[in-house]
Structure formats: structure tokens, C-alpha cells
Amino acid sequence: MNSHSKQQSNTDKKSHSKANASSSLKDLLNTSHAVKRALEPQSPRQSFIDELAENLDSNVEHARETMQILEDRKQRVKWTAIGAGVGIYTISIGIVFAKFIKWILQRRSDDKPNT
């Protein structure tokens, strides 16, 4: 019985907290509308607009340069890995080919005394 009442209490607390959050959001929204009505619209200074545009442009250029550097680094790593893979593959094929030639020559030398 006691655990049932605890569950009911927890459910009541959750619904109460949701109601509080909803009421807080409504209050906040009402406050923001009141502030918006009370304040007159402001237009920023032209120097502020120019400075902001310049900062944004330089940030975009910086971000573009950073992205290009990262892309170049990825490409370099990719081609390095491909080159290393091709090198290892070539060496492996060379070793297999050398062992195959050695095996063929050994078989021929083993067959010569019998004939």
C-alpha cells in the first residue's frame, strides 16, 4: 500500500512541476511581450553595422581557410595510406612471386637427376 501511495505522490509531483513550468513559460512570454510593447524599436549605428559585417566576413574567410586546411590534411592522409597500401601490396606480390620462382626452380632441379 505504501509503495502505491508513493507512486501516486510522484505522479502528482510530476504533473505539478509541468504545470509550474507551463505557467513560468507563460509568465515569461507575457513579460517579453510587455517589454517589446514598452520599448521603441532602435536602429543600430552605421559604424556598428559596418564593423559587424567586416567581422562576419573575416570569420567566414577564416572558417573557409580552416575547412580547406582540414580537407587538404584529410586528402594527404588518404593518399599516404593509399601509397603505403600499394607499397605493401607490391612488396607482398614480389615476395610471393620470388617464392614461386624459387619453388619452380627447385622442382626443376629435383626432376633433372631422375631423367
Q: Tell me the C-alpha distance between 108 and 56, whole Å.
A: 77
Q: Tell me the C-alpha distance between 108 and 114, whole Å.
A: 10
Quote the pTM value: 0.44
Q: Chain-wide mean pLDDT for the chain?
A: 85
Name the DSSP letter for residue 40.
P
Q: Tell me the C-alpha distance between 95 and 107, whole Å.
A: 18
Q: How many residues does the chain have?
A: 115
Mean pLDDT of 89-107: 96
pLDDT of 14 = 62
pLDDT at 86 over 80: yes
> What distance separates the 2 farthest-apart alpha carbons in the chain?
113
Mean pLDDT of 82-87: 97
